[in-house]
Structure 1
Amino acid sequence: VSSDNSSQYKRRDLDMPKFDELFGRSVRPWVRTMLTRSQDYLLQDKTILVIGAGGYSNQFIWPSALELGVNIVLVDSNLEYFARDLVYRFISIDIEDHKRDRAHASFIVETLRDMNISVDGCLTFWDDCGPLAALVSELLKTKGNTYKAAYMAKTKSLTQAHLRKRTGPIPHWQYTSLFACRSARITCEADIPKAIQAVSIPAILKLEHASCAVGVNIVKCKEDVFNQYANITNRLRTNVDFRGVGLGFSNLMVLMEHLQGSDHVVDVVIFERKLVAAFITNNGLTNWPSYIETSALMPSNLTVDKQAQLVNAAFQCLTELGLSNGVFNVRMQLTSIGPKLIDINARTGGLYICDWVKRLYRIDLMKCALLVSCGIRPYIPLIPPSEYILGVMLMPSKHKHVMHDKVTRMILDDMQSQGDIILTLLETEESLRFANDKAEYEQPYANIAVQAQTVEEARRKLLNICKKLAIETSDYKVSQFIQLC
């Protein structure tokens, strides 16, 4: 307390941090380290069943699990999978036909018993194996989600139809039906007129079980719907035509409402129906007419209230479907009337997501998924990110030179060694060599990203790099894509 000549007293300590607050700040990192190491200790020697190896972008999982001391039992169709020697046990079972998931689940459980393998958890990092992993988890009685919930999440029309029915009031929450959009399943050409009547035109036509925007098209008239439907269903029939986009279930299609708004991905960690953590990524404009992702920003620079709307909507949609345990990847559109659900991936976010979350928040989403599968609530340290990561996708038809041109590759390697860029390879360089430049349904082969203190600085740095590496072209305008990130 101090006084001056006016005899007015002022509590100086009110302007100063309390001692206990200062003390809390000083011990917080120490407690964080203790809790993180404790969870690492709990995972050691756990045996976890992983259904489906996934693509090349999942390659980080196996050495990371090995480092944590986790015994991974991997079930996959590919007998020659490169990571078979990086896991505790590799079991080759043909699980590509997902119409036979119940039979596959029973066979997997029988195989584990015959091999005398007892598992502590079961999960998948591969979108197509979500329902199968749920079936196996139910049979083994491990922590997970029901088959019904996993199958609904994998089936776009069922997801939207279920949410549209949730019109009952929930205390302190919005009506879940507000997050759903109009949709109609198309099983044959005869369903098209009825689907158009239910959804209206323009609309989005997509595969019922697909991911990665494969086969997604905007349709602007009735004839357009018929033409696109015939084209896609004739080209994409089975997994042989395109692996990992749900063709093991069927090539049925769904017509969905065309929404206007910004595109976002919310990665959500849930344990026993309780929200543990959520991370929002902003997606940039797509390279019209393609719907393939071009660019992304993490963390989101949306206002706090809009971020809260997205997290709330994603969490409600997941739990209303019955997805109560795991790490999930939810794509949403923020429209003028609030968030709308595009689709749900009932598994950990792929591509660059895990790496970016680890860099910005020091949180390992893969480890979170493993912990939840073993019935352990993940500890999430509350560390606000101090930087942004902004990245751009590289397409085989436009950016092969970045890897194969000697001069460009030297510049790229130099940037990477100096820490100027974050390079995430999504395909092997060998597969890129044989990629078809005119492939109708091509996917990105890499992501190049930068870190910066502000979004503006990140945009400037990324654009300079894209120009230097000739990623920015007249038909791949990175400068436009990243403006809405």
Structure 2
Amino acid sequence: MSGRENDVLLVIGSGLKVYREYLVAPIHRRAKENGLDLILINNLKPTWQHRYFDEIVVANVFDGEVMGAAAREVVARRTVVGLMCWDEPLVLDAGLLAAEFGVPGLSAAGVRGCRDKELTRAALTAAGLPQPGFALTTTVEEATAAAARIGYPVVVKPRAMGASIGVVFAADEAELVTAFGVARAASEVDPGPYRASVIVEEYVSGPEISVDGAVHKGEYLPMFVARKHSSDEPYFEEIGHLVDADDPLLRDHELVDVLARAHHTLGVEYGITHAELRLSPRGPLIIEINGRLGGDLIPFLGRTATGIEPGEVLFDVSVGRRPDITPGRRAVAGIRFGCPDHDCRLESVRVPTEAPGLVAASPMAEPGTSLRLPPGGYLARHSFVVCEAADAETCLARLDIAADLVELTTTPLGPPAPDAPFEMPAGLLDVDE
């Protein structure tokens, strides 16, 4: 034996097992087939990750300097040929490291353009792509003036958060003042350069969708479309998604052209992105482009509906290969999140093991977890169910049945203290111990 070490694919942050093991398993398989080792830099002591990674470095990945030092230490002793990250708070630093190491990635310009919503808006507007009117603000006075220029109603959002956290609809100035406080408080959680700033933008009507697509040498390759189901205004929390392998939007030349032009404008070179759009009266309008795979198990829905393996696609683009995104099956898959209708403490939750078309179901919070609705909290999810069917109508009906089978015990919670600091929702960060 030569004793030569394998080249390495570096992964920044694994995420929760229930959310990300379905990605990690095929990435591990693909790495072994190609003679690569997998090294994970993770924020907490690993558990389930051991079976998939050849080495795990425990470091605070939410501190950019600590993450960078840990990654450079790996690069100093091993040959790193690719780097991947799918956790929104880590995408910017991970993308900049990929550019520094000279491995395939979004590019420095691309990852900044995806992470910074204000930069996204400015770049796409300058390129002539349809965008809502917008302004970046740091004070309520600036926000009020911006809304007056743009015209009500408006949407107020943190500059660089995800999962609709801190996103609020405002119909008039009184609502704007409240909405600015909510968005500003949420923005303070971001440890990066975009904290404490808020975007005010024109409200655009129309159905919401997301598109997960791969990018190889700047070529945009759409994989699947998810139809989004959101809570009522003024908040835009996502309560479900539906992916149809035969969605006609995948053949909509205007939509695909808008997405391809947007990625080119932002300078995205390699990777997978999650683009969110409104199908507005003016045509498909990009709300944001995230430099990662979609959350909310949307890639799992995509795999279930289309047969496309997102983990394998991510592996390919991360090592500079053009992926195969040919669908292997034609079905419809959907997810429904269980959310309480009032603030409560979760005492117990039991999900169904059998239901028509049931693919997966899981609790999303531990007993004792406080579940608060906006603006006191976000993503107050106690469980999810995933179902599949041959058509969208049947899939939605199956989701109704499965969701009704979730058994829940809660106790009421009083209102949060007026000065209580914003906290990230339970279940978003990897807390496996």
**TM-score, structure 2 as length reference:** 0.81
Stretch moving more, 323-332 or 67-76? 67-76
> CA separation of 1:307/1:295 partners in 2, compared to 1, >3 Å: closer, same or farther?
farther
Distance 1:54 1:62 in 2: 10
Is 1:455 paired with 2:392?
A: yes
Offset at 1:368? 0.9
The match for 2:338 among 394, 398, 402 is: 394
> CA separation of 1:446/1:248 partners in 2, compared to 1, >3 Å: closer, same or farther?
farther
Give the match for residue 378 of structure 2: 442
Offset at 1:247? 6.5
Give the match for residue 98 of structure 2: 137
Offset at 1:212? 0.3
The Cα RMSD (Å) is 3.0
Give the match for residue 47 of structure 2: 82
Aligned length: 395
Is 1:353 paired with 2:298?
A: yes
Distance 1:350 1:120 in 2: 25
Give the match for residue 137 of structure 2: 186
For structure 2, the 5+ residue unaligned runs are 1-5, 409-433
Q: Does structure 1 conserve the Cα–Cα contact (< 8 Å) formed by 2:156 and 2:183? A: no
Distance 2:264 2:174 in 1: 38
Distance 1:445 1:49 in 2: 32
- Amino acid in the other structure paired with 1:153: C
* Deviation per residue, 1:102-131 (Å, 9 max, x gap): x557524531245x1211101211112222
- Bigger fraction of residues in strand: 2
Stretch moving more, 221-230 or 61-70? 61-70
> CA separation of 1:55/1:159 partners in 2, compared to 1, >3 Å: closer, same or farther?
farther
Q: Does structure 2 conserve the Cα–Cα contact (< 8 Å) formed by 1:184 and 1:198? A: no
Give the match for residue 215 of structure 1: 166
Alignment of 1:164-175 (within 5 A): 164-167=125-128
Offset at 1:448? 1.3
* Deviation per residue, 1:339-367 (Å, 9 max, x gap): 01111110112222222222222211121
- Amino acid in the other structure paired with 1:186: T
Offset at 1:387? 2.1
> CA separation of 1:269/1:82 partners in 2, compared to 1, >3 Å: closer, same or farther?
same
Is 1:271 paired with 2:207?
A: no
Distance 1:344 1:185 in 2: 17
Give the match for residue 324 of structure 2: 379
> CA separation of 1:85/1:330 partners in 2, compared to 1, >3 Å: closer, same or farther?
same
Alignment of 1:13-412 (within 5 A): 47-56=8-17, 57-68=19-30, 69=32, 70-76=36-42, 78-86=43-51, 87-97=53-63, 101=64, 103=65, 107-114=69-76, 116-167=77-128, 177-178=129-130, 180-234=131-185, 237-238=188-189, 249-299=194-244, 303=248, 307-383=252-328, 385-395=329-339, 404=348, 409=351, 412=352
Give the match for residue 423 of structure 1: 360
Give the match for residue 414 of structure 1: 354
Offset at 1:275? 2.7
- Amino acid in the other structure paired with 1:451: E
Offset at 1:285? 4.2
> CA separation of 1:96/1:462 partners in 2, compared to 1, >3 Å: closer, same or farther?
closer
Offset at 1:282? 1.0
> CA separation of 1:324/1:54 partners in 2, compared to 1, >3 Å: closer, same or farther?
same
Q: Does structure 2 conserve the Cα–Cα contact (< 8 Å) formed by 1:109 and 1:139? A: no
- 3-state SS of paired residue (2:315): helix
For structure 1, the 5+ residue unaligned runs are 1-44, 168-176, 240-245, 472-485
Distance 2:166 2:85 in 1: 24
**TM-score, structure 1 as length reference:** 0.73
The percentage of counterpart residues that share the same residue type is 15
- Bigger fraction of residues in helix: 1
* Deviation per residue, 1:169-195 (Å, 9 max, x gap): xxxxxxxx22x2211111223422332
Distance 1:106 1:284 in 2: 37
Distance 2:106 2:334 in 1: 33
